[in-house]
Amino acid sequence: MTSYKLSYFDIDGGRAEHVRIAFHAAGMEFEDHRIDFPQFAELRSKTRFNAVPVLEIDGAQVTQSNAMSRFIAKQANLYPVDDLQALYCDEVLGAMEDLTWHVTKSFGLEGDTLKSAREELLAGPATTFFRGLDELLTRGGGTYFVNDQLSIADIKVYIQVTWFSNGSLDHIPTDFIDNLAPRLMEHHQRIENEDIVKAYYASRA
């Protein structure tokens, strides 16, 4: 039997959460190896690109969260079979990864420097990406991003919107997305109530 070990920070969010949910949805057993920041300092040099998440498949290391999520999502019927719909799904996944990069640039900053960086984030990249996502949701039919059904793209957007709206990011108003792209908040509530997502977080509780 194939063994899977997913290593990432001990947070319910970030770059590995959609992979964890896909594992759970697929009914695939995996070791959810959650680390703290001191442990990351030790693990970092042992990873291929000095970053997490890292997925070990029978001990062989795989990197890049979107690649992992596509692989596992296929096992859970959360990734499109149609090539065009798969392209649309990948577009959403890539956009979320780009936005995450912009957010993490402000990590480690403090005081007025952090406040200024977050204000620039909201005025620039965050506005651009969430408006763009609203357009992609429209293209998908308004309910889901691709194929008019739940996919890994919806789950990754759900995690990103949670991050921006739950108060965990200093100087990011919790109603920012609601004011900018209210349909994304409607989408967020819809995905939060999907059986797959509810079952995952129930298992965490």
* Pair 70, 121 in one domain: no
d(CA 6, CA 23): 10
Strand order through the sheet with 60-62? 31-35, 4-9, 54-57, 60-62
| Residue 129: domain span | 83-194
Structurally, the chain folds into a number of domains equal to 2
What whole-number distance in Å separates Cα of residue 165 and Cα of residue 162?
A: 5
Same domain, 127 and 143: yes
Residue 205 binned pLDDT confidence (cut-offs 50, 70, 90): confident
61 and 94 assigned to the same domain: no
Q: Is residue 103 part of a domain?
A: yes
Query: Is 36 found in the same domain as 59?
Result: yes
- Please indicate, yes or no, if residue 204 is contained in any of the structural domains: no
Residue 36 sits in the same domain as residue 117: no
Q: Give tens-digit pLDDT for 94-153.
A: 999 999 999 999 999 999 999 999 999 999 999 999 999 999 999 999 999 999 999 999
Note whether 37 and 124 are same-domain residues: no
